[in-house]
Structure 1
Amino acid sequence: MKDLSALELDALAEIFNISVGRSASVLSELTGESVTMSVPMVHILSPERVIDLFGMAHQRLTCISQYFTGSFSGEAMLMFPEQSSLEVVRLMLGSQVPLEQLSEIEQDALSEIGNIILNACFAAIADMLQDDFSCQLPELTVAEVYEILHRGQNGHSVLFIQIQLGLEQRDLEGYLAFLMGSESELMLQKALSVFLTGVQG
C-alpha cells in the first residue's frame, strides 16, 4: 500500500471514531458499567513495525477475528492483551478463571464483544464509504502477536487502530487490525478518495 495522505488518514480516524462510539454504548449495556473509548489512533504498518512500535514481542493476545468481503476484503481482528480480555469477561460474567480455562460460555462472551465492535466498524465504514460488507462468524484464538499478524499473505501491510477502553475504574487497551491483500488495499484507498471528493464537494 502506498502511503496514505494526511486527509485519508483523518478520514479513516473519523470512521473508526464513529464506530467505537457506537460500540461503547452497547458494551456499557453488556457490562453494566460506563464504557468510554478513546479517539482511535490509526497506523498503516508492516507486521514487524507494529510489533516493534508497540513493544509486543512475544506478547500473547486474545484475538477475535472475522473474514469480510466487500469492495475490499480481508480479515478484521479485535485484540486484547490476555489480562484485558479477562477483565472484560469478568465484568460480563463475574468469572475468575485463568484464560486457558475459559469455558465455552466465556469464550462465547468474548466472541460476542468482538462481534459487536467489529460489526460497528463495518457499519460505519459502509455508511461513510457507501459500501456493503459480508462478514463470517467470529473466531477466537489466543496466540503470540507475531503469529496473529502474519496470517494470510506475505508482505502485507496492517491497518492498525489503537484504542483505549475506560470501564469506570479500569483502563484497558485494545487493538483493531485489518489484514488485506495488495488489491484490497488499493480498493480501500480508492474508496477513501471518492469519499473525500464528496466531502470536499
Structure 2
Amino acid sequence: MSDMNALELDALQEIFNVGVGRAASSLSQLTNEPISMSVPVIHMLSPQGASEFLDPHHDRILTCISQTFSGSFSGNALLIFPSVNSLEIVRLMLGSEMPLEQLSEVEQDAMCEIGNIILNACFSTIGGMLSEHFCCQLPVLKAGYITDILNQTSPNKQVLIVQIQMGLEKHNIEGFLAFLLENQSEECLHQAIKQFLTKVEA
C-alpha cells in the first residue's frame, strides 16, 4: 500500500476516535461503570514490526478477540489485551465481587461480547463515515503469543495498529486493535480515506 500522508492518518485516527468513543459509551451502559477510552494512536507496521511493538520480548500470553470482515476492504480485525488485563475487564463486566479464579467458565462469552461491542462500534463508524458496508462474522476468542496471533499475515502486508487506553474505575488498561487486510484491501482503504477527505474539504 502506498504510504498515507499525515493528513490521511489524522483522518483515520479521528474516525477511530469516534468509534472507540461509542464503544466506551456502550461498555459503560453494560457494566454500569464509567469507562473511558483514550484518543487512539495509529501505527502502520510490517507483521514483524507489529509483533515487536505488541510484545517486544515475545514472552506474554495475549488474549485476542478475532472477527473476520468483508466489504470493499476485507480481512481480520483483532482486539488484543494482555491476558491479566482481559480478566480485569471481564470481572468488571460480570461483577467486581467475583474472584478472578472463578471466571474461566464464563470468560470466553464475556470477552467475545466485549470484543463484539468494541469492534462493531468501530465498523459502524468506519462504514458511516467512509460510506462503506461491512459483513462481519461472529467474534472468536484466541489466546497465545503475538507471533501465533499474527500468523495470518504475509511478510509483504502492513498491519494497521490502533493503540488505545481504557480507563476503568481502578485500572488503566492498554489494548490494541489490529487490522490484517487482504489482497488489494490496503489500497482500497487508502482510496476511501482520500475520498473522505475530498468530501470534508469540499
TM-score (norm 1): 0.94
- Work out the number of aligned pairs and report it: 199
CA contact (8 A) 1:93 1:106 kept: no
Query: Which amino acid in 2 is paired with 1:27?
Result: L
Residue 76 (structure 2) aligns with: 75
Q: For 1:38-77, what aligned pairs fall within 5 Å after superposition? A: 38-56=38-56, 57-77=58-78
Return the letter of the residue paired with 2:61.
R
Which residue matches 2:137?
136
Specify every segment of 5 or more residues in structure 2 that has no aligned partner in the other structure, as ranges. Answer: none
Runs of 5+ unmatched residues, structure 1: none
Please state whether the residue corresponding to 1:173 is helix, strand or coil. strand
Distance in 2 separating the partners of 1:30 and 1:126? 23
Give runs of ≥4 in structure 1 deviating > 6 Å.
none
Give the counterpart letter for 2:184 in structure 1.
E
Q: CA RMSD in A?
A: 1.6
Partner of 2:165: 164
SS in 2 for 1:161: strand
Matches within 5 A, 1:1-201: 1-56=1-56, 57-94=58-95, 95-98=98-101, 102-103=104-105, 105-201=106-202
Bigger shift: residues 145-154 or 77-86: 145-154
What secondary structure does 2:184 align onto? helix
Deviation for aligned residue 1:98: 4.5
Structure 2: which amino acid aligns with 1:197?
A: T
